Structure 1
Amino acid sequence: MRTAPAELSQARSALTSLLHTLREIDKLLANLQNSFTTHDADAKLPELPDLAQFVSTWRYDPHQVLAHLRLGSPIFRHAVRLALALACGFVVSRALFTHQTHDYWVLLTIAVILRPNYGVTRQRLKDRLLGTLLGCLLTAGLLSLHLGLAAELATMFLALAVARAFVTTNYRFTAMAASVLALLLARLLEGDPRFLVDQRLIDTALGAALAWGFSYVLPRWEYQDVPRQLSALIRAQHDYARAVLATELQDEGAFRLARKRQFDALAAITGVYSRMLEEPPSRRRALNELAQLITHSYLLAAHLASMRVQRALRAKRLSPQSIEAMIAPTRDWVLRRLGRQPPTARGSTMAVDPAPPPAEPDTAGSPPDPLLRRLALLRHEAAQIAAIGPRVERELHTPARAGATA
């Protein structure tokens, strides 16, 4: 049990560290203010990095297509799944609706709902059904008002704008606006609004049912992609830590590129985790471990981002050799922990780090110097991330328990 003097000492140390941090923030704000108020003719603007490195490039290479002509490819499996669903939808719609002129609505519904990922398919299905229902109700209300041709054309223009505006952000509004647009356009060409509204609802429900059923054909579950995304994240974190903790600060372009790749990899594995939550409980793996990994990865990124500022502040009053002596042990230990690649197959193991992990930092008793405190937190987060790898491996090959949640 901690004694009162020990607790008082820890509280005093924490307050001292907080005071140092506030003073550093005050200095940064003063520097920002000076940069706006003073006009130095000799001051040089920082050189911008080559922005072409931050833009994704597209290459139309036939080998990219040939590489996916295998059953194990998620793209090939989705292509087969979608082709079978569309073929089934075509046969069913022609068999059930022999006198219908809009049976292609069934195929359109299948095409927009069925996605490569189960979670995205499920969300699209909900949005399509609810959006179509709301769009049909809205169209029925508009038609009951007996609007003139000019008003209907204006409504169609507005619906087209809404459908395009929300197609990548909120598909529910896109589905609603598309239903209004399609029904009003068909009404102008054919004339029987009640039959068109009923037909739209039936076709959408049938297409959604077929898309839901075929989502289980050659499925690709999110946990199968975790090893690849985890390896990419660890590599990106290693490169980002090396760029920040290097003996000499790298140029701005290399630093920003490493930071971008780290956050891209973190966003990718976060997407895997969120989509896995939409899958059946029996297909979920390592939810708790992934949540912890994402949390510690964001904390590691935050500490690394602040390290660059801390180093710049120390450079004004400490020699490069002194700063290197402070950072070198942490740099070597963190890079060694993040340099080991996580397993990607059953039975593989991770190399054992010969160096013992440091004790979990006591934030209240940490040294008051913000740089040393940040280095201790960096070691802690790197140790947490490295320890999650074996647990993820075990959970990926352990069937999920019924009713298991994150």
Structure 2
Amino acid sequence: MQYALAPRTFLFSHYFYTGLRIATGIVGLTFLTLAISDVPTAIAVAMGALCTSLMDMPSPLRHKFNEMLAGVALCSIVVLLVSLCSPVPWLLRTVIVVVTFLASMMVVYGRKAMPLQFAALFSMMLASEEASTPDQALRHGALFFAGAAGYMAYAMVVVWAMQARLKQQVLSEALYELASYTEIKAGCYDLANPLPAQMEKLVRQQIVLAERQQASRDLILRGKPSAADAALVQVHYAMFDLYELVLSTHTDYVLLRKHFAGRKVLPLLGELIGKAARDIESAAYAMTRNRPSHAAFDYSAEMRMLEQALGECAGTASGEAEAVLLATSHKVNDMVKMIGQLHAASQAGAVALPVVSGADLTPFLTQQRYGVGILGANLRWSSPAFRFALRVAMAVSVGLVAGDFLPYQAHSYWIALTIAVILKPSFSMTRQRRADRVIGTVIGCILTAVILHFVHAPAALIGFLFVATAAAPAFLYIKYRYTAIAASMQILLLIGLTVPQVGSAVTERLLDTLVGTVIATFFSYVLPNWEYQNLPRLVESVLQANRKYIDSASDLLQGRAGDDFRYRISRKGFMDSLATLSAALGRMLDEPAAKHRAPDELNRFTVQNYLLVSHIAALRLLLQRYKDGLPRSEVNAAIDQACHQVRARLGSAPPDTPASVPATMPATVNWAGWAPLQRRLKMLLQDADQLAVARGAIGTAFGPA
């Protein structure tokens, strides 16, 4: 399910809409200026619009306004400063290095600040291409600001008018990723798929899903949802209920494979879950087209076949295996019903919104802080951000000097821009950007050379320029290689339109890119921040978040919590910390082999933490299923004992003895849910033991802090 790249879905995604909006704004402002002025003026305005467009990403309206305003102000100041210094070469290079360092320090504010960092560097490099007199610098700065402010006003109006559409697109993307997550779940019932590899895939997809769900929260739940948002809010909540149900379907796959291999029941379960995944995808597909969804599949035939297969398995395996199989079939049935509720939610009219009255949703939303104190606290040698900023500043300095010694008319700003694009805070990100940048530039140069050779009509070239301008931001976060191709074509086509006689531009840009790539590659090893250095801290963060999650889950399962608000907050914090660790592990594996530390143990630790969440979700649904006649005191005692043992495993070295399952139910109590509860608690404790073992192995591999 390649949602973001498949034409069937990409053309209705917020990625495509963003690219189209940006291209329309930049090209429109450029030609509007050209209609009333000359080419240099239009180019200066276009530069302002282009740099500001880097901040035009999906965000809540207030956040988008603040982000774009910061981009307009910062980039305009940088352009004016660089233009004023451009007549004095040594002063210009000093300013470029200082601005590069300060802009690169913005990484301390997280991912949301990365576009602003690049916008500042991009505007600086463009402004440094030619020397300007003070009057020209002031004029150029004013035109740049006009283009930047004009694009900001245009973008805010368009996004305000299409805010509901953006919410639909972001929510549908989360549903697509949930469908992919469910599809991986279906693979657990295929004996051809090794379980450890399938669990790893599940955890990786969980990280992507969590990011998309957070984007959905930030857009749909921020502020007070209006009655017009009723369907979106209901689908959003239904999506999370469905996610928890899919999460709870984790079961003893080893036991099922051992006892029912070769029978029809496991392929049937996998087929049903796979069909459910396609049904979720159909709901996402309908939402991208601004229409309510309806059940796309009929499960009755598969349900009858499953019931028949369950009857054939009766008495052929151990009682525990048959009970696990029956419980799994119940959960799959519940999942199918929940998908029906998801479809129904998309058809909701102006109904009461499913938000807890008076609930503060702030903990669920992304909080961004840009205090100067954060920047100042990282101005120290031990800070990875400080070392990264030094690394970029030194690399750009070398790139500027290298342009003076090359045997052709090099563009130092293009070399420096290539370095700024490639060098990232982590080695793995730098490595990926390097490959994408080189390959993308080569392809972009070749395509542009072909276009400029055969196409000479300005209208046709403008059409190609519009497509490249739209494609560059559209693929920025899903396939950077395509962005590199489009960005190269965009610059070269612009040169071809404004300075047609410069025929060597394609070759020169390609050579500049290669020089910048070599320099960036060398400096990726200077003052490095290897991922293994941060892993012990991230492991401890996961354990702390897990303890909080177990505490809140214990209160919820035992009925001590009035609602699940604290449980959901702690679960979100736990999953966020787990995603951070898993992402760091993935980046470490892209680094040189000599910098790898305990990859197998860390991967096992990540998977075992994920399994604990699955067990808690299953326990919650189990208590809801068997709520009739539930003996609260006995069940609470069992849950409390199990959670206490799990907490002990999270806070200690590997256990000498395995955790024990809580005592059996007294003979005087007759409750149908006791045996399923015992099995689930047993699995919870087994995985807690495995988690403690993995943690101990990590401690041994990394040694004392």
Are 1:232 and 2:541 an aligned pair? yes
Q: How does 1:315-330 map to 2 (within 5 A)?
A: 315-330=627-642
Are 1:123 and 2:429 an aligned pair? no
Structure 2 residue runs of 5 or longer lacking an equivalent are 1-258, 260-314, 345-351, 662-672
* Change in 2 beyond 3 A, CA 1:368/1:267: same
- Choose between structure 1 and 2: higher helix proportion: 2
Q: CA deviation at 1:127?
A: 0.4
For residue 384 of structure 1, the aligned residue among 690, 694, 697 is 690
Greater relative contact order (Cα 8 A, min sep 6): structure 1 or 2? 1
Are 1:134 and 2:443 an aligned pair? yes
For residue 181 of structure 1, the aligned residue among 472, 475, 490 is 490
Q: How does 1:286-325 map to 2 (within 5 A)?
A: 286-325=598-637
Give distance in 1, aligned partners of 2:323 and 2:415.
67
1:53-88 Cα distance to aligned partner (Å, 9 max, x none): 112222232221121111110000001101100111
What's the TM-score, normalizing by structure 2?
0.49
> Which residue of structure 2 lines up, in the alignment, with residue 404 of structure 1?
none
> Which residue of structure 2 lines up, in the alignment, with residue 156 of structure 1?
465
Is contact 1:223-1:285 (8 Å) kept?
yes
* Change in 2 beyond 3 A, CA 1:70/1:12: same
> Which residue of structure 1 lines up, in the alignment, with residue 320 of structure 2?
13
Instruction: Name which of structure 1's ranges 328-337 and 17-26 shifts more when overlaid on structure 2.
Output: 17-26
Aligned AA for 2:394? L
For residue 371 of structure 1, the aligned residue among 677, 681, 685 is 677
> Which residue of structure 2 lines up, in the alignment, with residue 53 of structure 1?
363
Q: Secondary structure at the match of 1:110?
A: helix
* Change in 2 beyond 3 A, CA 1:379/1:216: same
Give distance in 2, aligned partners of 1:27 and 1:201.
57
For residue 93 of structure 1, the aligned residue among 373, 379, 403 is 403
Is contact 1:75-1:116 (8 Å) kept?
yes
Give distance in 1, aligned partners of 2:426 and 2:497.
38
Is contact 2:399-2:412 (8 Å) kept?
no
Are 1:260 and 2:569 an aligned pair? no
1:304-343 Cα distance to aligned partner (Å, 9 max, x none): 2212111222333213213202212101101121234xxx
Is contact 1:20-1:368 (8 Å) kept?
no
Is contact 2:660-2:685 (8 Å) kept?
no
Q: CA deviation at 1:17?
A: 3.1
Are 1:356 and 2:657 an aligned pair? yes
Is contact 1:81-1:214 (8 Å) kept?
yes
Aligned AA for 2:319? R
Q: Secondary structure at the match of 2:380?
A: coil
Is contact 1:330-1:375 (8 Å) kept?
yes
Aligned AA for 1:369? A
Are 1:337 and 2:638 an aligned pair? no
Give distance in 1, aligned partners of 2:438 and 2:368.
34
Instruction: Name which of structure 1's ranges 142-151 and 27-36 shifts more when overlaid on structure 2.
Output: 27-36
What's the TM-score, normalizing by structure 1?
0.83
Is contact 1:50-1:253 (8 Å) kept?
no
Give distance in 2, aligned partners of 1:68 and 1:47.
39
Are 1:280 and 2:587 an aligned pair? no
Q: CA deviation at 1:20?
A: 4.0
Give distance in 2, aligned partners of 1:78 and 1:24.
49
Q: Secondary structure at the match of 1:59?
A: coil
Give distance in 2, aligned partners of 1:331 and 1:257.
18
Is contact 2:455-2:461 (8 Å) kept?
no
1:248-288 Cα distance to aligned partner (Å, 9 max, x none): 25322211111111111111111111111111111111111
> Which residue of structure 2 lines up, in the alignment, with residue 40 of structure 1?
none
Instruction: Name which of structure 1's ranges 8-17 and 262-271 shifts more when overlaid on structure 2.
Output: 8-17
Give distance in 2, aligned partners of 1:30 and 1:165.
36
> Which residue of structure 2 lines up, in the alignment, with residue 3 of structure 1?
none
* Change in 2 beyond 3 A, CA 1:136/1:33: closer
Give distance in 1, aligned partners of 2:332 and 2:436.
46
* Change in 2 beyond 3 A, CA 1:97/1:263: farther
Aligned AA for 1:16? A
Q: CA deviation at 1:92?
A: 0.7
Instruction: Give the share of equivalent positions with the same residue, in percent.
Output: 35
Q: CA deviation at 1:12?
A: 3.4
1:116-150 Cα distance to aligned partner (Å, 9 max, x none): 10010000000000000110111111112224111
Give distance in 2, aligned partners of 1:28 and 1:135.
47
Structure 1 residue runs of 5 or longer lacking an equivalent are 1-6, 37-42, 341-349, 361-366, 399-406
* Change in 2 beyond 3 A, CA 1:16/1:77: same
* Change in 2 beyond 3 A, CA 1:53/1:359: closer
Are 1:171 and 2:480 an aligned pair? yes
Is contact 2:645-2:659 (8 Å) kept?
no
Is contact 1:314-1:323 (8 Å) kept?
no
Number of aligned pairs? 369
* Change in 2 beyond 3 A, CA 1:224/1:322: same
Q: CA deviation at 1:201?
A: 0.9
Aligned AA for 1:89? G
* Change in 2 beyond 3 A, CA 1:212/1:32: closer
Give distance in 2, aligned partners of 1:152 and 1:31.
51
